Chain A
């Protein structure tokens, strides 16, 4: 028994320290504002520290149950950055509408983040399962945080029930996998896995559970309802951080455990990607509620993310991580604007956004950038990420898939442009009045905007990611 194994879990340990500190601070601190600054400062320190963990390099602990490498560190750092931005956007909401549960908000969010760390770093299905559950069960309570609204409770109920259901399904898959392979270490499965029906069935059941987290069709149905009902900050967190972590974990599993038989899973993943993108887009077309709209948009984005998985190459992994990285800023910018508006005026539907440009030009501008970036319009960062992920898929000869995905971007562009149209072109009798966002929101929006504009041009980021990626 060598407990020094814990030492290499830098991220996890430092996050645990943050968690404990927050628990204590929440216990003794009275002033919520100071507490928030403390929490964010602490988390900022954690985030910054995260960047110093590069030097660990490739290492595995607990006899191969936990693994870390530069790409894992990077992914965790990306998750940290995302979470930090979510906190920034949540500041105002916490201060005014969530006064009584500020400490819990931070604690629960960070514990789900810890779960995601485990998910990402797991090399064993048990740890993966625990991580997944840590990332989803407390999330259900976060979804229910909005105490004034029925929708919040409903969303939470739907979320927890489907989450439990999906985890049961996944477990069933894992159990069969255990039965078929005799071990649940990824490395062992890689050796034992064969293309027998049982193996494949186990794989699919297990895949469904992760697909639920990434909200792939047909495991996506909870997404829109939960996103709509949850507090906007939580929605943002769900749509970016949780999804990104799960996607990366899935890719790791596929590469590490099932790389010997890629044909078995690429076939069904191909179809899942196609229907995910298409269904996501078709539903997004009809949405009027901005959060719900972004929910469906994020479903179709999940389909694009999966292109990196289906490629399964280092290129695919790099493209996927990069995609998530860009997607984080983009989607958070959109949610930032939405929550800024929701906080000030409680308006959430697209029609309310009519004429927004005339009253709140800056917010509209950010929103427009976010929409363009989501739609993959250059020169914004979304274009680059989309291009690279398509390139990764095309490299594996998935031209048809790329083509279908690209045709779908037409539909997606259509609804992204509708938002732009609402803000810029449509006229409104009573537009949302001009208001000043709080400073934290401003900071968050500025970060996101700058990121959206310049990230694509900074090529070292991608080159660095590809250098540390691995694949089949």
Chain B
């Protein structure tokens, strides 16, 4: 008897909302970005688990998570370059420092 797919989903959902929590509470941009990585990984787990345990005929979830990884990498790269840009302008990367535009 292998692990039911729900167990994977519990893990991924937990991870996802940990990521959400991190996004909402962390104070610097890099940490926020890391939270996003957690969320994306949670999604990957979902895909893979579904693929593996529910719909194993095709590699759809598998491929999807592959692309998620690729896109996440690109996204992270751009995000980090933007964060560094912010750092250069504001001299720190605290979320409070990107609070000029509002209302």
Direct A/B contact, Cβ within 8 angstroms: yes
CB distance from B48 to the nearest CB of A (A): 9
Judged by a CB distance under 8 angstroms, whether B11 is at the interface is no
How many residues in A have their beta carbons less than 8 Å from beta carbons of B?
A: 41
Taking the closest CB of chain A, its distance from the CB of B4, in whole angstroms, is: 13
Q: How far is the CA of A153 from the CA of B29 in the complex (A)?
A: 13
Given contacts A126-B63, A171-B43, contact A160 B79 (CB under 8 A): yes
**B79–A161 contact, CB under 8 A?**
yes
How many residues does chain B have at the interface if contact means C-beta atoms less than 8 Å apart? 46
Question: A172 contacts which of B16, B75, B79, B90 (Cβ < 8 Å)?
Answer: B16
A180 to chain B: closest CB distance in Å? 9
- Across the two chains, which residue of chain B brings its CB closest to A158? B98
Q: Is A286 an interface residue (CB 8 A)?
A: yes
Check if A229 is an interface residue, CB within 8 A of chain B.
Answer: yes
Closest-CB distance, B103 to chain A (whole angstroms): 7
Contact of A184 with B by CB under 8 A: yes
The SS class assigned to the A binding surface is helix
Q: 1/0 contact trace for B74-103 toward A, CB 8 Å?
A: 110011011101101110000000111111
A166 to chain B, nearest CB (A): 10
| Interface contact B86-A153, CB-CB below 8 Å | yes
Given A154-B101, A165-B36, the answer on whether A129 and B82 have CB atoms closer than 8 Å is: no
Query: Bound complex: CA of A167 vs CA of B71, how far in Å?
Result: 10
B16 to chain A, nearest CB (A): 6
A140-B78, A154-B101 known; A175 vs B39 contact (CB < 8 Å):
no
- The reply on A61 being an interface residue by CB < 8 A is no
Known contacts A133-B75, A144-B85, A178-B51; 11 additional CB pairs below 8 A are: A153-B89, A154-B90, A157-B85, A158-B101, A160-B78, A164-B79, A165-B36, A167-B71, A169-B39, A175-B50, A178-B46
The interface of chain A, by Cβ under 8 A from chain B, is: 125-126, 129-130, 133, 137-138, 140-141, 144, 150-151, 153-158, 160-161, 164-165, 167-169, 171-172, 174-176, 178-179, 182-184, 224-225, 228-229, 286, 292
Q: List 20 A-B contacts (CB under 8 A).
A: A126-B60, A129-B64, A129-B67, A137-B75, A138-B78, A144-B85, A150-B89, A154-B89, A155-B101, A156-B82, A156-B85, A157-B82, A161-B32, A164-B79, A168-B19, A171-B43, A172-B42, A174-B64, A178-B47, A178-B51
